[in-house]
Amino acid sequence: MGSCSSCNSGNSPEGGGCSMAGGQPPKAPSASLEDEKLKKNLQRIAHKILVLSGKGGVGKSTVAVNLAIALSLEGKRVGLLDVDFHGPSIPTLLHLEGRRPEVTDHGTMLPIAIEGGMKVMSLGFLLNRPEDAVIWRGPLKIGAIKQLLGDVEWGDLDYLVIDFPPGTGDEPLTVANLIPEADGAVVVTTPQDVSTIDVSKSVTFCRQLNIPVLGVVENMSGLVCPHCSQVIDLFKQGGGEEMAKRMNVPFLGRIPLDPQIVESSDAGEPFIFHHKNTEAAEAFRRIVAPLLALP
Ligand code: ADP
């Protein structure tokens, strides 16, 4: 990412104004102008939903993509923003690798619209190669997130779903500061203790930042048998639900392990769109119902 490495070498205004659009040198808009642009953009988005997890590999990005698509299938105008600086996987999950957002005459970026109209923006679109490791310091990340929210032409949206890297680092902290009016967080875990212990830290993090917890999703809960389609209790079930109870936050539901999720993710075909009549797709729809009912 040429322009961002130039920011890294100290050319960035205010230490964090990384101008990512089209490799242009940073324009250094005043902080108040930037804030005004950001505010205007966010005002046009009715609901902002954060998808968090304290642990990697629990299926957070898969859940984020499928929730976003499920909302879009309900006729909602949806944006999906991937702010995972170290492993942006949304381009792969939606088969958008190598795509570049168009840069407008005003230096803003157009999100990539996929079939059905959902708008997608990912740091992955701005990396030169998908395997590029991005080593960014906190202030740069903050500047980049500000641009992904304020310099992207999201337009009028019913929902913006934001996928974060695992943990409770700069990224969710920045978004919590930039979007204090966010509806809240969907927290993803797997049923095992190794995951629920880490993920409960995400709940604590939300509490400390006054981000409402919309609920916990227990992913990889049981296995859908490829032969009979029954759900088998493979490892353990109920750990996420117990954690939600213990932490006194809503439980949104369980999504079983389904080999077709891996296949469709690897093929870049959103599972819920291509496998509508499965137990896992039904589980995603149940989880989306309270999000659709947000005031
Ligand atoms: P994270 O964002 O938490 O790191 P990912 O969404 O990238 O996790 O998912 C990690 C892997 O697990 C991917 O290969 C994905 O296809 C797979 N996966 C996620 N959820 C399920 C599920 N319910 N059933 C089967 N595989 C899943």
Q: Is the CB of 61 under 6 A from ligand 1?
A: yes
Give residue 9's pLDDT.
34
CA–CA distance, 295 with 280 (Å, rounded to integer): 26
Give residue 132's pLDDT.
66
Give residue 141's pLDDT.
83
57 assigned ligand-binding residue:
yes
Q: Rounded to 5 degrees, what are φ and ψ at 68?
A: -60, -45
CA–CA distance, 13 with 113 (Å, rounded to integer): 31
CA–CA distance, 217 with 256 (Å, rounded to integer): 11
Q: Is the CB of 168 under 6 A from ligand 1?
A: no
Q: Mark residue 221 as left, alpha or beta (left: phi above 0; alpha: psi -120 to 50; beta: remaining).
A: beta
Q: Rounded to 5 degrees, what are φ and ψ at 157?
A: -130, 150
**Contacts of 230-236 spanning 24+ positions with Cβ under 8 A:** 231/256, 231/279, 235/191, 235/192, 236/191, 236/192
Which position has the higher pLDDT, 155 or 237? 155
Give the confidence band of 26 by pLDDT, cuts at 50, 70, 90: very low
Average pLDDT over residues 111-118: 94
pLDDT tens digits along 157-208: 999 999 999 988 888 999 999 999 999 999 999 999 888 998 999 999 999 9
Q: Is the pTM of this model over 0.75?
A: yes
Give residue 124's pLDDT.
86
In DSSP terms, 231 is beta-bridged to 224
Average pLDDT over residues 105-114: 94
Which position has the higher pLDDT, 132 or 237? 237
Q: Is the CB of 56 under 6 A from ligand 1?
A: yes
Give the confidence band of 35 by pLDDT, cuts at 50, 70, 90: confident
- Nearest atom in ligand 1 to the alpha carbon of residue 89 is 7
pLDDT tens digits along 44-83: 999 999 999 998 999 999 999 999 999 999 999 999 999 9
Helices (H), 52-137: 60-73, 90-93
Give residue 137's pLDDT.
75
Q: Rounded to 5 degrees, what are φ and ψ at 204?
A: -60, -45
Q: C-alpha distances in angstroms, 37 versus 12, 30, 41, 83, 108?
A: 19, 11, 6, 19, 11
Which position has the higher pLDDT, 236 or 36? 36
CA–CA distance, 65 with 150 (Å, rounded to integer): 21
CA–CA distance, 40 with 183 (Å, rounded to integer): 17
Give residue 19's pLDDT.
47
Query: Cβ–Cβ contacts within 10 Å for residue 222, how many?
Result: 22
72-81, 83-92, 102-111, 133-142: least confident range:
133-142
What DSSP element (H or E) covers 113?
A: strand 112-113
Positive or negative: CA dihedral 28, 33, 37, 42: positive
Give the confidence band of 148 by pLDDT, cuts at 50, 70, 90: very high
Type of residue at 93:
L
Give the confidence band of 21 by pLDDT, cuts at 50, 70, 90: very low
Give residue 62's pLDDT.
96
Ligand 1 midpoint to CA 220 (Å): 8
11 pLDDT exceeds 60? no
Determine how β-strand 157-163 pairs with β-strand 45-52. parallel
Question: Mean pLDDT across the chain, nearest whole number?
Answer: 86
Q: Is the CB of 167 under 6 A from ligand 1?
A: no
**Cβ distance 127 to 14 under 8 Å?**
no
Average pLDDT over residues 232-255: 92
CA–CA distance, 83 with 269 (Å, rounded to integer): 20
**Could you give the domains of the chain?**
5-292 (3.40.50.300)
